[in-house]
Amino acid sequence: MAVPHSLRALRSRNFRLYYAGQAVSMIGTWVQSLALMWLAYRLSGSTWFTGLVGFLNSAPYLVLSPFAGVLGDRLDRRRILITVLALLFLQSVVLAILSGFGALTLWQLASLALFAGVANSFETPTRQSFFVQLLDDRDDLPNAIALNSVLMNGARLVGPSLGGLVVAAWGETACFALNAASYLAVLAALRVARP
């Protein structure tokens, strides 16, 4: 079966595996992001605190990502990704457990949001440069970049929508557990895909 020209980067087995795992993981990340903000407001009743959680979850990227990019250029990107994704998996598990038992305090929520923000500062630039190593043909790079952009924006659209449905049906804890499971997809893909 011929692959359409617009999807030609997916001919590379390693890129295809990683792309699929990353799609699941990124949707899970946006599901959790919505649930995190929803829970922050539900627990605090404060728009200020909700904004703080959003800030802590995002602001470290502005400060740390340039350093993370340099680190990704000097060290094994695959190893960095596996380490950071494993830490983000654990963060989601902790959120799910504390939320599930109703034991999550505001300071814990803020701390876990900051932890995710710091970890994502290393994950994002490393992820965006890692997939290049997975292509069989460097001529597919422009297509891989386009597919990566589609993935990021598609996940940004689908994830919060799905998150809202999950929160409404099962609560925030289910969103955190779903995100933890989504990290397993990309970790498995990284284990199988070899640059």
CB burial readout 36-66, b (16+ within 10 A) else e: bbbbbeebbeeeebbebbbebbebbbeebbe
Decide if pLDDT at 1 tops 70.
no
Residue 142: Cβ-neighbour burial (10 angstroms; 0-12, 13-18, 19+): exposed
State what percent of residues in the chain have pLDDT above 70: 98
Q: 20 in a domain, yes or no?
A: no
Name the one residue in this structure whose structure tokens are 């799905």. Answer: 162
**Predicted pLDDT at 171:** 98
Mean pLDDT computed over every residue of the chain: 93
pLDDT digits over 23-58, tens only? 999 999 999 999 999 999 999 999 999 999 999 999
Whether residue 27 is contained in a domain is answered as no
Q: Within a domain: residue 19? A: no
Overall domain count for the chain:
1
For residue 157, tell me if it sits in a domain.
yes
Q: Does the residue 23 lie in any domain?
A: no
pLDDT of residue 6: 73
Helices 106-130 + 47-74 axis angle, to 10: 30
Instruction: Tell me if 7 is assigned to some domain.
Output: no
Q: What pLDDT, on the 0 to 100 scale, is given for residue 195? A: 67
- Tell me the whole-structure pTM to 2 decimals: 0.93
**21 domain-assigned:** no
What percent of the chain is predicted at pLDDT more than 90? 71
Three-class SS of residue 15? helix
The domain in which residue 39 lies consists of 35-192
Does residue 8 lie in a domain region?
A: no
Confidence at 3, pLDDT banded by 50, 70, 90: low
